[in-house]
Amino acid sequence: MKRELEFLKTFCETFVQEGTEWICSPFTDTGFLCATDAHILVRLKPDESFDLYGIENKAGKVKDELFVQNCSHDISVSDIREAISKIPVKDEDEMIDCPECKGRGQVTWEYGRHRKSDDCPDCDGEGEVSTGKILKSVKQYLDCYIKIKDGYFNGKYVERLIDICEFEQVDSVHLLKSNEFKNSCFKVGRFDVILMPMVVNKNEFNTGFDKTVIEINLQP
Ligand SMILES: [Zn+2]
């Protein structure tokens, strides 16, 4: 269970602030080991022999209603992977100080006795130019929604379902609860997983919706 506990820690909130310190480390609630960052919650039943000493008990924090079943669908991890691969990416170029203005972003023009500072025309005043070399492609999670049945999610959290599948060495997740405005619930190996949806303004759909919706297939 040590391995499970370490894994649970990766789901905890990392930003410590007053009032939410309790989600910064795993805790127990009604016999489950739980971890959350308020967007995703994972829990599993620890082995009987596992020593829970030092793990805070937060009984009642994780409400039973989160897990009330309203559907039953399998989703293959390959379908989740495919959806994640469709998230738009933005290439980040390698940047160097602009040679023209030596990184200052400004150039000085001289004409006779007149001197005038202006934005550098080579870097548009940024002080940096691209070498043309792509350092990394960064997924633009907020440019799309991942739709699973009735819920719309940030792909960053849907990706964690893949992590749990790998940890549990299973190739599908089971969707047990789906709701557009409330949480969805998944069973992944030994883990119960709660995902909170993103609030989607449906008017956006009618008026030139600029975010992509990537829908994941459900198996009946
Ligand atoms: Zn410049």
Pair (199, 149) in one structural domain? yes
* 76 and 159 together in one domain: yes
Ligand 1 centroid to 97 CA: how many Å?
8
Residues 94 and 163 in one domain: no
Number of folded domains that form the chain:
3
Do 81 and 173 have their domain in common?
A: yes
C-alpha of residue 131 to centroid of ligand 1, in Å:
13
Our measurement of the distance from residue 91's CA atom to the centroid of its chain's CA atoms, rounded to an integer in Å, reads: 19
**pLDDT tens string for the chain (220 positions)?**
889 999 999 999 998 888 888 899 999 998 899 999 999 999 999 988 888 888 999 988 899 999 999 999 999 999 999 999 999 999 999 999 999 999 999 998 888 888 888 999 999 999 999 999 988 889 999 889 999 999 999 999 999 999 999 999 999 999 999 999 999 999 999 999 999 999 887 776 666 567 889 999 898 7
Same domain, 177 and 93: no
Do 76 and 117 fall within a single domain? no
Same domain, 53 and 160: no
Verify that 145 and 47 share a domain, yes or no.
no
pLDDT digits (tens, 9 = 90+) for 20-39: 888 999 999 988 999 999 99
Contact 58, 26 (CB under 8 A): no
Query: How many C-beta atoms surround the C-beta of residue 86 within 10 A?
Result: 13
Domain that holds residue 146: 63-88+141-220
Taking the model in full, what pTM does it have? Answer: 0.82
Interval between CA 106 and ligand 1 midpoint (Å): 7
Domain boundary among 44, 60, 76: 60
Of 199, 76, 218, 203, whose CA–CA distance to 142 is shortest?
Answer: 199
Which CATH number is 168's domain given? Answer: 3.10.150
Same domain, 178 and 76: yes
Q: Are residues 112 and 122 in the same domain?
A: yes
> 186 with 79, same domain?
yes
- For residue 90, give the nearest of 50, 137, 57, 43 by alpha carbon: 137
Strands 106-111 and 212-215, sheet pairing: unpaired
Q: Which residues fall within 8 angstroms of residue 184, CB to CB, at 6 or more apart?
A: 148, 149, 150, 151, 153, 175, 177, 178, 194, 195, 197
Separation of 118 CA from ligand 1 center, angstroms?
Answer: 10
CA of 93 to the centre of ligand 1 (A): 16
Phi first, then psi, for residue 188 (nearest 5°) are -130, 105
Say yes or no: 164 and 215 in one domain. yes
